[in-house]
Amino acid sequence: MSILRRFKDIMASNMNALLDRAEDPEKMIDQYLRNLKGDLGKVKAETATIMAEEKRAQRQLNECKEEIEKMQRYAVKALEAENETDARAFLQKKATLTEKETELATSLELAEANAVQMRQMHDKLVSDIGELEARRQILKGKAAVAKTQERMNELGASVTGANANLSAFDEMENKINQSLDEAEAMAELNSDTAKDEIEDLASKYEDNLDVEDELAELKALMSEKEE
């Protein structure tokens, strides 16, 4: 039976090796599960057919045995009725049925063996599917953790870049502050220079007395006191 050979090959395949070689184990296991579930449906259908064949072979064998027993009874009754011709006919029919019984017993053994193999493959597929379902959840959980770690690594790189940008910003701020301080100092110096120039200009118009003028004022004051 081709289906038996096919599913024996499936059972002999190394699932772990397939998964280890897969570039994307998560997708591989999903695909393998779909394949197994499709095969399981075919195995169920074939198992049902073989089990039906087993039941049919068993029924045919039982019916043949009943016919053999019936021919035996008829032969006995014919002899009791002193009718050897009829007894001989019943015994000949019994002999033919006995040969058929042997063939039917062989067919039943084969049908039973096939049914056992199909049930074993059915149970194995169900077990493999259950195992893969569990492994798929574990695998997807690991994949989620890996993706989270990748995002964290990317964020870490971004933070490192942000720190570098912040350092450059601080350096630029220091340069700006230094330029501002220098500008303010220059403005202050310029302000002092302008103030000195105004004071010098104003001194030209102040009432400053020289020594001769002051001496004349003292003489005038003394003359007033003598009078």
| pLDDT digits 0-9 by tens, 176-219 | 777 777 777 776 666 656 556 656 666 665 555 566 777 777 77
- Residue 40: predicted pLDDT: 81
Q: Which two tokens stand for residue 52?
A: 């039906």
Please enumerate in sequence order all residues whose Cβ is within 8 A of that of 154, keeping only pairs 6 or more positions apart, or say none: none
- Residue 190: predicted pLDDT: 63
CA proximity to 8, closest of 107, 132, 122, 127? 122
Are 132 and 29 within 8 A, CB to CB?
A: yes
- Residue 61: predicted pLDDT: 95
Q: Which amino acid is at 192?
A: D
- Residue 171: predicted pLDDT: 76
Longest dimension (CA), the chain: 210
Instruction: Round to whole Å and give the CA distance between 166 and 175.
Output: 14
What Cα–Cα distance (Å) separates residue 103 from each residue in 55, 57, 64, 97, 114? 15, 10, 11, 10, 17
Instruction: Round to whole Å and give the CA distance between 38 and 192.
Output: 96
- Residue 17: predicted pLDDT: 53
Residue 209 is given by DSSP the state: -
- Residue 14: predicted pLDDT: 46
Q: Which two tokens stand for residue 159?
A: 């933070």
DSSP 72-121: HHHHHHHHHTT-HHHHHHHHHHHHHHHHHHHHHHHHHHHHHHHHHHHHHH
What domains are there in the chain, each with its CATH number?
A: 2-161 (1.10.287)
Which pTM does this prediction carry?
A: 0.49
- Residue 223: predicted pLDDT: 76
- Give me the residues of the chain with pLDDT under 50, please: 1, 14
- Residue 189: predicted pLDDT: 65
